[in-house]
Amino acid sequence: MSAPILATYRIRADAAEAARIARFIAYEQTVELPEALVVDPFLLEQVVGHVLSVAPADDGCFHARIAFEPSLASGQLSQLLNLVYGNVSMYPGIRLQALDLPPAVVAGFRGPGFGIAGLRTLTGAHDRPLLATAVKPRGLPVQRLAHLAADFVRGGGDIVKDDQNLVDEGFDGFRARVGAIADAVTRANAATGGRTLYFPHLAARHEDIHRYAAFVREVGLRGVLLCPHVLGLDTARDLAQAHGLVHMAHPALSGALTQAGDNGIEFGLALGTLLRLAGADISVFVAPGGRFRFSPAQAMRLAAACREPLGALAPAFPCPAGGMDYAQLPQLCERYGHDAVLLVGGALQAHDPDFARATDAYRSQIERCAARAGAIGGASGSL
């Protein structure tokens, strides 16, 4: 076997059962036959997964480490996921905990098209976390949404995105809404000298969605909001890559994977490593301290997965969200460092009736926090 794909599974069982389940995973994920039926030496050596270890974990479970022949991923992101967690995702008590990919597999993916460095070039923000917001809610008149986006530009924000619920029934509605918001952002940037980016949400029938992406480029926008776990990881990868767009990934539906208890996929792997393979430049996640229940340890694993070395793939911005407010900015800056996007939605609208003034207050506080951190420990990279 060449340098293998190494998958680590958390198995809830006693020692004897955990060893049996580990062998079941190795066979089920590759040949999908009982062990007794697999006697061909080639299949046993080159196709069946190899159980490397089964060891106790701190939580009373066991960690099984299994090696897979990398050619079984067939150079496809969807097949990679199918290989390491396809059928066994339906078996109780098996959770995909970690994935170590050999260089040959990673090299088959382009990863983030812009990454942290590219987005800093686009926004002109080089020494602090970026500030992002969402235009919402659905149901507001288009001109009101456009006015919110323009006010965010006037306040000095970096990225304004559609809420993931802003979806149009057809292309004409998408063109009218996105065109109006894009025009408002362009005009506000011209008036202020700003470089705020607007990312519309791409959601349409599969046969139409490339038309939507082409329109985004036609009106001069540089990126989009995608929901990879709704669209499919490889569909999201293809959309952003084919049109040269920044890929801001929203975590909608991902909780079915990450919050599945003894099943599912580890938080940082699902929203960090796998999304980088899918070309995400920004990975939005619900952070501790907001309205969702996630732990600081989960958040830090995800942030690390976004930014740690992964072959030649560019690092991506982790983007904490989900109920962040002004009082939390110092903690957010300290926890995630300069290389993060801080996404604030409702709290930003509630901070001041003047949305431009509210945006300026948030950005100024982020700049103060970043300056303090830089004076203490240096302003490059993560703090």
The catalytic residues are: 136, 250
User: Angle at the Cα of 283 (from 370 to 262), degrees rounded to 5?
Assistant: 120
Tell me how crowded residue 3 is: count the other CB atoms within 10 A of its CB. Answer: 14
φ, ψ for residue 173, nearest 5 deg: -65, -40
For 35, which DSSP code? G
Q: Which residues pair with 8 in a beta bridge?
A: 65, 98
355 CB-side CA count, 13 A: 22
Identify which of 86, 100, 73, 94 has the alpha carbon closest to the alpha carbon of residue 9.
Answer: 94
What SS3 string covers 43-101?
HHHHHCCEEEEEEECCCCCEEEEEEECHHHHCCCHHHHHHHHHCHHHHCCCEEEEEEEC
201 φψ region: left (φ > 0), alpha (ψ -120 to 50), beta (else): beta
For 328, which DSSP code? G
Q: Which residues pair with 94 in a beta bridge?
A: 11
Under a CB-based contact definition with an 8 Å cutoff, are residues 352 and 326 in contact? no
User: Angle at the Cα of 232 (from 227 to 233), degrees rounded to 5?
Assistant: 85
Under a CB-based contact definition with an 8 Å cutoff, are residues 267 and 294 in contact? yes
What distances in angstroms separate CA 332 from CA 117, 239, 247, 255, 320, one per listed residue?
Answer: 20, 31, 23, 22, 8
Token match 């703090």: residue?
383
Query: What 3-state DSSP class applies to 263?
Result: coil
